[in-house]
């Protein structure tokens, strides 16, 4: 039987106290629903159906790159009603896995166990938790077989003592869902159509319901900012442990956030409060200083990222030095042994082997050769208000402090720009460019005096 997945994501999430649809709140750098979609995709379903309602267009836009069949639920009348909206678009011969867009931590392994246990029948994911208040309870018969699920508000005091809860995740044949869901009623405390109500009907018709138990962490639902922060801490701890298992040194694992796919070589050291986002590669012996943020970048072996630095969309070769307080923006390429120092910003710039910009500079849309020096306070004026222009600096060039380089501009090999110059014309090989007003010293000048107001 083919597998189809239905993800319920129509709720507003009032307890989040936000205009953002609940399933779009970020967790480890991605919206909640993308975590669920990514895990579901690992199961190779024939179709991913997502039931949307509140903020439907925002949710669709956030997941536009994922092949999804969108199903609109005009009124949010419960989980049973939500699945019912998707059923007309599901092959009647398929098995259906129902997931939730606000339950992001469930694992592929657990879901595969659930699917295997269901076979061609029905299986429910349950969990035993210490404080089950608010959850539907799994009620079993005297022999321990599944009997029914009772919602917390509808349960008797004795039923509320049960600590096995229904997670809402289940696998059932589309045939069963088509047969039993239309007869589910809203005769309950919430006035909603509950998906689990089909299970008691299946039991009544002598159909066995299988169960698989999940860990409490996996089935954590996100209903408020406290639960969102708790989920963040769970992911942070798991990803930090995975890096340490590979030999990465984390100075304090509780203060490193991994919000993407990170690959590390040997003897990598990461200090506190570092954020790694997107696709990040840290090669052998890379050292990342405290309070730095690296996203979608490759850092070559032996490179040191000093504290308080931001690196985004960059390619950095071996043995470079960056920061502290450097900002490396998208399109930056540093060749080996290059140095970007404190309060230097680069964007769409390539810097050659052993070249350096050590202090207080902006280098945008620049091509810099090898062994060149960019003095403190130098900026490339790359934007004329309409278009960006390139500044080219050759090998072994020297640009003095506080220089303004007005693009388009070419400074050739071994050229020299004197400090404080505004350079608007190309500088040939070994030439000296002086682009500043002559100094004038005023003889007999007197310092201004404060007026006596008394």
230 neighbors 220 (Cβ within 8 angstroms): yes
Beta bridge partners of 432: 416
**Rounded to an integer, what is the distance from CA 22 to the centroid of its chain?**
16
Residues contacting 4, CB < 8 A, separation 6+ = 45, 46, 47, 48, 49, 90, 91, 94, 95, 96, 97, 174
Q: How far apart are alpha carbons 310 and 243 in whole angstroms? A: 21
Q: Which tokens hold the place of 151?
A: 């919602």
Q: How far apart are alpha carbons 296 and 329 in whole angstroms? A: 11
9 neighbors 59 (Cβ within 8 angstroms): yes
Q: What are the C-alpha distances in Å from 100 to residues 8, 48, 282, 345, 449?
A: 5, 12, 34, 43, 74
**Rounded to an integer, what is the distance from CA 320 to the centroid of its chain?**
27
197 neighbors 184 (Cβ within 8 angstroms): yes
Q: What are the C-alpha distances in Å from 13 to residues 55, 249, 282?
A: 11, 39, 38
Q: Which tokens hold the place of 88?
A: 């007309």
Q: Which of 25, 54, 279, 359 is catalytic?
A: 359
- 451, with CB counted inside 10 A (0-12, 13-18, 19+), is exposed
User: Cα dihedral sign for 234, 55, 36, 282?
Assistant: negative
Active site residue 230: no
Q: Pick the closest to residue 339 from 306, 365, 292, 290 (CA basis).
A: 306
Torsion angle of alpha carbons 288, 289, 295, 300, nearest 10°? -30
Q: How far apart are alpha carbons 164 and 168 in whole angstroms? A: 12
Q: How far apart are alpha carbons 434 and 415 in whole angstroms? A: 11
The dihedral region occupied by 118, where left means phi > 0, alpha psi between -120 and 50, and beta the remainder, is alpha
Beta bridge partners of 257: 275
User: Cα dihedral sign for 146, 150, 156, 162?
Assistant: positive
**Rounded to an integer, what is the distance from CA 231 to the centroid of its chain?**
14
**Rounded to an integer, what is the distance from CA 428 to the centroid of its chain?**
47
**Among all residues, which ones are annotated catalytic?**
359
């Amino acid at each position: 039987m083919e597998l189809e997945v239905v993800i319920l994501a129509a709720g507003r999430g009032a307890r989040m106290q936000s205009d953002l649809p609940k399933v779009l709140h970020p967790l480890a750098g991605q919206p909640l629903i993308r975590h669920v979609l990514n895990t579901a995709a690992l199961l190779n379903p024939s179709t991913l159906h997502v039931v949307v309602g509140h903020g439907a267009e925002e949710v669709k836009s956030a997941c536009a790159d994922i092949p999804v069949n969108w199903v609109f639920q005009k009124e949010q009348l419960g989980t049973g009603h939500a699945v019912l909206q998707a059923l007309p678009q599901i092959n009647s011969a398929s098995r259906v896995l129902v997931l939730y867009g606000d339950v992001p931590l469930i694992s592929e392994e657990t879901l595969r166990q659930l699917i295997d246990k269901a076979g061609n029948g029905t299986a429910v994911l349950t969990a035993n938790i210490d404080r089950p208040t608010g959850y539907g309870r799994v009620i079993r018969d005297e022999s321990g077989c599944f009997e029914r699920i009772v919602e917390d508000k509808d349960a008797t005091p004795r039923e509320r003592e049960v600590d096995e809860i229904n997670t809402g995740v289940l696998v059932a044949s589309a045939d069963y869902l088509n047969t039993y869901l239309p007869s589910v009623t809203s005769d309950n405390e919430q006035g909603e159509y509950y998906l689990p109500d089909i299970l008691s009907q299946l039991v009544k018709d002598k159909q066995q319901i299988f169960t698989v138990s999940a860990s409490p962490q996996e089935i954590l639902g996100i209903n408020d900012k406290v639960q969102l922060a708790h989920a963040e801490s769970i992911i942070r701890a798991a990803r930090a442990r995975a890096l340490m298992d590979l030999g990465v040194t984390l100075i304090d694992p509780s203060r490193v956030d991994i919000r993407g796919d990170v690959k590390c070589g040997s003897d990598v050291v990461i200090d506190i409060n570092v954020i790694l986002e997107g696709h990040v590669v840290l090669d052998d012996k890379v050292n990342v200083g405290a309070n730095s943020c690296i996203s979608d970048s490759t850092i070559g072996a032996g490179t040191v990222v000093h504290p308080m630095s931001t690196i985004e969309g960059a390619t950095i070769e071996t043995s470079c030095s960056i920061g502290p307080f450097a900002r490396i923006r998208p399109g930056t390429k540093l060749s080996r042994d290059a140095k970007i120092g404190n309060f230097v910003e680069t964007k769409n710039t390539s810097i050659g082997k052993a070249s350096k910009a050590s202090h207080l500079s902006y280098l945008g849309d620049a091509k810099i050769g090898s062994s060149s020096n960019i003095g403190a306070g130098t900026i490339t004026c790359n934007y004329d208000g309409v278009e960006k222009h390139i500044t080219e600096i050759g090998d072994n060039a020297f640009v003095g402090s506080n220089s303004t380089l007005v693009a388009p501009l070419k400074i050739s090999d071994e050229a020299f720009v004197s400090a404080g110059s505004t350079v608007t014309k190309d500088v040939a090989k070994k030439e000296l460019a002086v682009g500043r007003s002559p100094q004038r010293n005023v003889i007999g000048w007197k310092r201004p005096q404060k007026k006596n107001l008394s």
